[in-house]
Homo-oligomer: A and B are copies of this chain.
Amino acid sequence: MTIIVFGGDGFCGWPTSLHLSNDGHDVVIADNLSRRRWDVELGVASLTPIATVEERLAAWEGVSGRCIEFAEVDMLDADSVAELIDRHRPDAVVHYAEQSSAPYSMIDREHAVFTQTNNVVGTLNLLFVLAEVAPTCHLVKLGTIGEYGTPNIDIEEGFIEVEHNGRRDVLPFPKQPGSFYHLSKVHDSHNLAFGARVYNLPVTDLNQGVVYGNATRETALDPRLVNRFDYDAIFGTVLNRFCVEAVAGHALTVYGNGGQTRGFINIRDTIRCVQLAIDHPAEQGDFRVFNQFTEQHSVIGLARLVQRAAASLGLETRIEHVDNPRVEAETHYYRASNESLLALGLEPHRLTETEIRSLLCSALEWRDRIAPDTLVPRVTWRRPAQRLAAT
């Protein structure tokens, strides 16, 4: 198959691209490299040193003998997206090319508007290009499990049967997202559900949990293939951040009481899920939703796991509860379904102490690159930073 990975230079997109290439597909990475620019804007960096795109692709060709093409494309430029799709006529496109940080979206008005415009318009552009140029191409879109929020009922995969006043219907699962970023994904989901229906397109929406880990079989083949490892308070996901805090001799900073429970997934399962979705495509006109996570954890539970694994490596850490910069429930019911991808054959990597030790060892390898001040939350949910002139 020919597959274009939009956002193929990012944390999930890069290992996905390598995995699909390794699987024998002709892979094209389309990326505007904005993720690297946000590092510069925020003064943060991946714990692991990241090669340039050119170095990455040359290294991949060296170790695999396979070529991945790169196109510098901004999805806000619909003509460029159309030209790319028209030239390659892909069988599938994977769409990761969105601003993916909740704190980034909550910095201030500009960042909220940028996040929603970038994500929603980019996805709309892709939707229209597929409708016009490649209507049989399978769109595999990354959403987030955070779209659902934390309802007091079981979370189903995209839809729920509701009985009300003696009547029944299967309806979109109600969404209660917790940031302007999560909201952008909810907007995407609504747009895609509609677009798949009216334009008769095959669409899979992968509502992904919090990703941890960074290395995959393919990224481990050469130092220039190494994947991002974000640990800062803006882009770092919680387990990666805890591992770096443990290695840096920093307290494990738990927001509030830490009862916040979410779905989690190993990066090695992320790439496998996308492969499974591609291998078992949606039907024309079908908007299907898979919840893409493998296990549930509370934040405090993860902190304790990391503390135990760190101790086994001789790293003494303490857990510190800090004021929660987010507006979110800290004690709540949480149970989400993830049956679809398991039914397609996903065999989850479990979050064992061994797995966490392996993450800690990755962090230890690069401990000299840790910038402790980037671990401290700088963004609060409760008020936007004041940038507008109020005289």
Q: Are B199 and A383 in contact (CB under 8 A)?
A: yes
B residues in contact with A187, CB < 8 Å: 116, 120, 183, 186-187, 190
The interface bits of chain A over 148-160 (1 if a CB of B lies within 8 angstroms of the residue's CB, else 0) are 0001111000001
**Complex: A174 Cα to B176 Cα, angstroms:** 11
Q: Given contacts A109-B124, A160-B162, A167-B333, is CB(A390)–CB(B133) below 8 Å? A: yes
Minimum CB distance partner of A109 in chain B: B128
Minimum CB distance partner of A131 in chain B: B384
Q: Are B153 and A177 in contact (CB under 8 A)?
A: no
A162-202 contacts to B (CB < 8 Å)? 162-165, 167-169, 171-180, 183, 186-187, 190-191, 193-194, 197-199
B residues in contact with A154, CB < 8 Å: 164-165, 167
The interface bits of chain A over 76-104 (1 if a CB of B lies within 8 angstroms of the residue's CB, else 0) are 00110011001000000000000000000
Q: Are A389 and B172 in contact (CB under 8 A)?
A: no
Interface bin, chain A: 35 or more
CB of A39 within 8 Å of the partner chain: no
Q: Are B152 and A125 in contact (CB under 8 A)?
A: no
Q: Are B121 and A116 in contact (CB under 8 A)?
A: yes
Nearest Cβ in chain B — how far from A342, in angstroms? 19
Q: Given contacts A79-B389, A82-B388, A390-B86, is CB(A382)–CB(B198) below 8 Å? A: yes
Nearest Cβ in chain B — how far from A294, in angstroms? 21
Q: Are B173 and A152 in contact (CB under 8 A)?
A: no
Minimum CB distance partner of A170 in chain B: B152
B residues in contact with A128, CB < 8 Å: 108-109, 112, 384, 388
B residues in contact with A151, CB < 8 Å: 169, 171
**Complex: A125 Cα to B183 Cα, angstroms:** 15
Minimum CB distance partner of A152 in chain B: B169
Q: Are A199 and B124 in contact (CB under 8 A)?
A: no
- Copy number in the complex reads 2
B residues in contact with A197, CB < 8 Å: 327
CB of A60 within 8 Å of the partner chain: no
Q: Given contacts A117-B121, A151-B171, A162-B174, is CB(A78)–CB(B109) below 8 Å? A: yes
Q: Are B86 and A113 in contact (CB under 8 A)?
A: no
Q: Given contacts A183-B191, A381-B198, is CB(A82)–CB(B390) below 8 Å? A: yes
**Complex: A86 Cα to B389 Cα, angstroms:** 9
Q: Are A388 and B78 in contact (CB under 8 A)?
A: yes
**Complex: A85 Cα to B386 Cα, angstroms:** 15
Q: Given contacts A113-B121, A124-B113, A388-B78, is CB(A164)–CB(B160) below 8 Å? A: yes
B residues in contact with A168, CB < 8 Å: 152-153
B residues in contact with A179, CB < 8 Å: 194
B residues in contact with A177, CB < 8 Å: 190, 194
What are 7 A-B pairs at a CB distance below 8 A?
A: A79-B388, A83-B389, A112-B128, A124-B180, A128-B388, A172-B175, A183-B190
Q: Which 8 residue pairs of A and B lie closest in terms of their CB atoms, listed nearest first?
A: A152-B169, A171-B174, A109-B128, A153-B164, A82-B388, A187-B187, A198-B327, A172-B174
Apart from A79-B388, A162-B162, A179-B194, 9 more pairs, CB < 8 Å: A78-B388, A109-B125, A116-B121, A116-B187, A116-B191, A132-B384, A153-B164, A160-B174, A174-B174
